[in-house]
Amino acid sequence: MTVPVRLLPFALCLLGLLWSGCAVMDAGAGDVRVVLASAQGLPAAYATAEPARRFTALESARQRALAKLAEELYGVRVERAAKVRDMQFAGEEIEAQVQGELRGAQVVHSEYDEETGLAEVTLRVGVDASGRTVPGAGLPLVPLLP
């Protein structure tokens, strides 16, 4: 299979996703860059019918991929609280929070394995120079390969 030259950057970036889970690349559309994130999800415990298992697994993976995009774009706020009792370390609590607004995130790839129930979703979003997401952004479409 050959990949057209104009799709080569996207193909290379998708290979990078397999390695890291999140990638950033220049889209070549002005000052817009493309951020990609990939995540996996499992079906909800209450989903017993196959269509419900598929839907909840894909939605879980999509939500996790959105969280990875927000983490990449806006960062993570981490709070740590340590407990000391009788002058000795007694434990700690760490809370991580991601917050941001994403508009125009597009599904690049989605896959569901009926045997394991595992779903994987890859999303992309265009981001301008000020860090705002750009819906559509004139980004070329990436072909979904089987």
Q: What tokens were used for 141?
A: 């479409």
Our separate counts of H helices and E strands in the chain read 2, 7
SS3 7: helix
The dihedral built from the CA positions of residue 51, 54, 60 and 61, taken in this order, carries a sign that is negative
- Between 127 and 6, whose confidence is greater? 127
Classify 51 as helix, strand or coil. Answer: helix
pLDDT tens digits for range 81-110: 888 888 888 888 888 888 877 888 889 899
The whole-angstrom separation of Cα 124 and Cα 104 is 9
Highest mean pLDDT among 24-28, 75-79, 141-145: 75-79
Q: Choose between 61 and 92: higher pLDDT.
A: 61
Across 23-37, 104-118, 131-145, the highest mean pLDDT is recorded for 104-118
